[in-house]
Structure 1
């Protein structure tokens, strides 16, 4: 604890400091039995601390907004991984960095040390706005209308700790692409922004095409267009209004239906846009000007550096340059892509990697959604030396983001949800490509992605060829074996249009390499010249591929090894637990009342800081949590905040007329009808206090009659 306090002294942000102190206090209360375990889980998830498959170990997810990281930040994370975790940096498909095998009790100290280099864990997991992702080539993309990096940074900062997204029904994801090629895969996000420039009165006006309602998981959905052009100062107000709608009307009981995509499907785009407009008056800002200088130009190497190591393999260098090196929009500079198997770099290697970056590239590393890294502002004269030194670290493998660069989630290695091994399957498939189809190292169309379960953390839902972990039962001997569900036809085409992959067939996991062989040979034999794989899949149709692969699903001729998962030596069995990706929903009266009282205190604190919109939203949550507490206590099931208000009117309306009048719903929803002024905040907070006092009286009276 003394070390933890010492680390806090090095911080200069009292909000962050208090956040870390609160986490430490809650851990202590959890150990003492003073916090319900499910409630504690939701608290730690919102602070980036996620339970691992291995009991007693935590995965800590580090938020890297739009994947941008400095050399010093990489070094800091490497040191943290060595001191507190398993000594590995795992890059994710949302541009985060994960550290595994961390003790829960050490997470406050770990967090305090990260914050010394402006790195946060806050809201990296849980029912919040997750890491804001962005095109890793933003700022250097020759096709971009403008650099979206400062816009992604502004959205990240605006919603960090924002009251409107601290206890939503499910997680919420936002992305920024750099061009119409959809380099930020907007079509699978709750909100995806694609930059555009429009001429108005002879002047260039910046704005964004806005896509909403996308998502992967077991029931994927492609986003729909909300705006063809939304001016830049409106993107944050729009996002806030949409989040308010999602918070109020989104599902909260059935977790599998609680993402925004389901709300959009249920009520339609027109109704969603109408509800967004109804929220507009309550926003603290109707126009949010983005500081385009918020992400400064990175420091460049002072001189062109050269390695004293000889280039041993000119042919390999030429291939690497062809597949991993691209000209920037800044003349004379190149960005360099670093392929990292499974996204894993050991801490010691990360330090050596940082040394190399400092010599040859800008102090601006970008984590990519395919679990690699991009270096920027490399001079052509430095490329050979850069390659030579990267090759010494096994970080100069050609074929970045090609067919040979397979994405895989952590799967059964560490995740509770993993059904069958994904990381080992990825390595096996890469071996097949390297040995039998080496020409595919230059193919940037066919993407292979693997997840350990249906939730698509490995993005199998948008793969040209995707696999997710599953199981099969041999009907003859009743034994269970590891399997993979094969999905085909997903991805982004040359015009930037996105497609969701379709489920085709389930096969034993050990047959995955044969699936690849059959599909590659079929495509080579039957595709038209220049035909993209997604187009080929749609032309042939799902049943064509089912018939093509059907023989691999046969369980009549299995051998003993088919019943053992990749990388294992024992008979396979399904071992999954409840996942923590979306947090949990708490239906205990005491816990809900604790939340209501906590929100009431937060409302007063925000008011004292002149954060009136925040104070009003905290007060709104006092009403919601107090109502839900009474409804739960009476055994009334509720799914949404809107449903809570309606049910409360029906069940308790007469008990609260003296406080809220004839309609509780109308009383609470005045939040949408008033500007967030000081006077309105003061009034609404006072009414929330009076309401909460009445909740306690009613509950006490009901308890006496039981």
Structure 2
């Protein structure tokens, strides 16, 4: 089936979509190995599910912004290609599940027609740029960060410096000092500040979650706004060059920062300054993102909010509605259980937005939605309409509003159910702690495994899926984490792992924790401060009876939402096998990068041409080292090892790789010694054009002398 593309699809997106379609066909015919295809499709937002033959599609929404028509388009596509469900994530994306691989190009084409992309929503690149949902209307903000979040997203989209990094890279932009976008757990976290009348940001570096969470370190208390994007580019270039690439669990920026220290990292970033695409990039004057599209009359209403004797409306008003910094206008926050919204509900919500609010919906970091610029006199009618859709549950972003990942419902990595325990905990709080919908201090977050998509490590009370062994039997478990999130000083904290308990005892653990806090917490004491005051051992002893395996019952061996006995498994996976020549595959990648370099050169994109040429050197050198069974790691290590190994070696095509040790390193790392101007770009690309054929000739000669290589067996995904 040919892909239908409209005139609204940009040239760059058109090529990406057709390229995805072509790669899918090559993959099905066995011409491309799984590892190469996996890297390719992930950076196009196509992610293999736990179930064989279907994909999760991640839709990239910078700072969570979406219009009513875009929401309708996603809902319609979910009905056509997926399950009719829209899953909001903690990174303000929307995910569609159970999509056939072959349908993903057409789905993407129809998203691009509506101004939405999948590009770089997954994979080892810059992921979605998250931002405070309240940006632009936040009473506490020094200025609207929306244009900055969008510009960061736009600058790094399809940028050569971040297309093939060792691991993913995450950026957040908060709207105020409250850091509601959780900058302290990001590779780069930005908090807006004013200094002497100038806009700028506090800059944090090297935060991250996963099995070993790290809080970010403060690089600058204030960096002028026009220097922020160039600085981030420098950080990414350093991470790309020096970051781990083989040991996946050590490949995040947080480990590089931990290894070399902040001062050394900043020194290396400074070394990149000359080579940056731009030295400064002012934003505020360049882009003012519309926040009130769809409002015919911007005159604020002088009407008060109508009174009501409906207790649910009054509770909803207190917990889900706030007055914007624009006096007379109100924002409405939607609590969405599990982050899941049926397509019909999404379409109905879009119509309510068109009727009552600005055409500027924000997906929130706690998996809800925020509507903006609602008149006070419209709040009762909007509440009634939302309540009919099941979208007027009180307690948005309170203790009762749990953040969770999909867990074993769809994820390959999940160990136990996230959705089931989330439902059970929310029922517990509704029945036994009804007033908890007014508590916005304690945040509960749940992940299906230690990787942290549910952000359990920055929760005041967190859980992640695990397992426990009891004799010959295994049961589903929850690792309990406490003390993360924000304390009374507004400081972001990483939670402690306290104890592991059987999953079915999750409600009992939460009941115990909440009752203990009610009984022993000081008036107004933040939960994380209470945890710090009592200490980890206090909570270990408190929860220890719940962890006692001597008191297990049969139901403890069955996970939430299941009826069968629990077994530990990491999904069905994307498996079958294929034999490939890894060196040949790597050389093919190098050739693609050289083609991109030539294309950028022809279009006058000098900085892009230089970086693509740099990647040609790196990938070609990696292939040569692999041909000699020399392990490769960081890009810097590849250059150094190639420099030592191939000094004075001649290619069969008559070219010396380099005459003396140090020459290759000098050549490749000249990338940050020159401005990205035309003369250097043409010279550098020409050198790459000479280098790659020499490597290819060397490999052909090696095969003639030594015979065909032993093919490597890799897993190959199947498509239904």
What's the TM-score bracket when you normalise by the shorter of the two chains? Answer: over 0.9
Q: Equivalent residue for 1:119?
A: 116
Q: 1:524 aligns with which of 510, 518, 523?
A: 518
Alpha-carbon offset, residue 705 of structure 1? 3.4
Write the distance in 1 (CA, Å) between the matches of 2:680 and 2:235: 22
Write the distance in 1 (CA, Å) between the matches of 2:18 and 2:446: 38
Structure 1 residue 647 and structure 2 residue 641: aligned?
Answer: yes
2:136 and 2:291 in contact (8 A); partners too: no
Alpha-carbon offset, residue 697 of structure 1? 2.5
Q: Equivalent residue for 1:183?
A: 180
Q: 2:485 aligns with which of 470, 485, 491?
A: 491
Q: What is the 5 A alignment of 1:341-360?
A: 341-360=337-356
Q: Equivalent residue for 1:678?
A: 678
Write the distance in 2 (CA, Å) between the matches of 1:191 and 1:660: 38
Q: 1:508 aligns with which of 502, 510, 523?
A: 502
Write the distance in 1 (CA, Å) between the matches of 2:34 and 2:296: 53
1:419 and 1:471 in contact (8 A); partners too: yes
Alpha-carbon offset, residue 703 of structure 1? 2.6
Alpha-carbon offset, residue 659 of structure 1? 4.2
Stretch deviating more after TM superposition (295-304 or 46-55) = 295-304
Write the distance in 2 (CA, Å) between the matches of 1:313 and 1:624: 69
Matched residue SS, 2:47: strand
Alpha-carbon offset, residue 14 of structure 1? 1.1
Q: 2:158 aligns with which of 161, 165, 169?
A: 161
**Structure 1, unaligned runs of 5 or more:** 581-585
**Structure 2, unaligned runs of 5 or more:** 575-579, 707-720
Q: Equivalent residue for 1:700?
A: 700
Alpha-carbon offset, residue 587 of structure 1? 8.9
Write the distance in 2 (CA, Å) between the matches of 1:52 and 1:415: 6
1:661 and 1:667 in contact (8 A); partners too: no
**Normalising by the residue count of structure 1, what TM-score does the alignment of the two structures yield?**
0.95
Alpha-carbon offset, residue 316 of structure 1? 0.7
2:457 and 2:484 in contact (8 A); partners too: yes
1:232 and 1:289 in contact (8 A); partners too: yes
Write the distance in 1 (CA, Å) between the matches of 2:657 and 2:610: 18
1:27 and 1:105 in contact (8 A); partners too: yes
Matched residue SS, 2:525: coil
Write the distance in 2 (CA, Å) between the matches of 1:594 and 1:216: 34
Alpha-carbon offset, residue 453 of structure 1? 0.3
Alpha-carbon offset, residue 655 of structure 1? 1.2
Stretch deviating more after TM superposition (31-40 or 571-580) = 571-580
CA-based RMSD: 1.7
Alpha-carbon offset, residue 699 of structure 1? 2.0
| Structure 1 residue ranges, 4+ long, deviating more than 6 angstroms after superposition | 310-313
Q: 1:69 aligns with which of 55, 66, 70?
A: 66
Q: 1:335 aligns with which of 331, 337, 340?
A: 331
Q: Equivalent residue for 1:635?
A: 629
1:181 and 1:494 in contact (8 A); partners too: no
Matched residue SS, 1:614: helix
Q: 1:575 aligns with which of 566, 569, 577?
A: 569
2:51 and 2:571 in contact (8 A); partners too: no
CA offset digits 1:432-481 (Å, max 9, x no partner)? 10001111110000111100000010010101110000000113xx1100
Q: 1:536 aligns with which of 530, 536, 539?
A: 530
Write the distance in 1 (CA, Å) between the matches of 2:181 and 2:271: 29
Q: Equivalent residue for 2:192?
A: 195
Write the distance in 2 (CA, Å) between the matches of 1:417 and 1:659: 43
**Normalising by the residue count of structure 2, what TM-score does the alignment of the two structures yield?**
0.94
The 1:350–1:311 alpha-carbon spacing in structure 2 relative to 1, beyond 3 Å, is farther
CA offset digits 1:520-557 (Å, max 9, x no partner)? 11111111111100001111111111011011111112
Write the distance in 1 (CA, Å) between the matches of 2:291 and 2:453: 32
Write the distance in 2 (CA, Å) between the matches of 1:520 and 1:296: 43
Write the distance in 2 (CA, Å) between the matches of 1:666 and 1:269: 26
The 1:171–1:587 alpha-carbon spacing in structure 2 relative to 1, beyond 3 Å, is farther
Alpha-carbon offset, residue 652 of structure 1? 1.4
Q: 1:39 aligns with which of 36, 43, 46?
A: 36
CA offset digits 1:265-303 (Å, max 9, x no partner)? 000000000000111111121011215534123224447
Q: What is the 5 A alignment of 1:556-595?
A: 556-577=550-571, 588-595=582-589
Q: What is the 5 A alignment of 1:263-302?
A: 263-292=256-285, 293-302=287-296
1:180 and 1:495 in contact (8 A); partners too: no
Alpha-carbon offset, residue 52 of structure 1? 0.8
Structure 1 residue 430 and structure 2 residue 436: aligned?
Answer: no
Alpha-carbon offset, residue 577 of structure 1? 4.5
1:504 and 1:545 in contact (8 A); partners too: yes
Alpha-carbon offset, residue 683 of structure 1? 0.5
The 1:421–1:313 alpha-carbon spacing in structure 2 relative to 1, beyond 3 Å, is farther
Stretch deviating more after TM superposition (272-281 or 656-665) = 656-665
Q: 1:229 aligns with which of 216, 222, 225?
A: 222
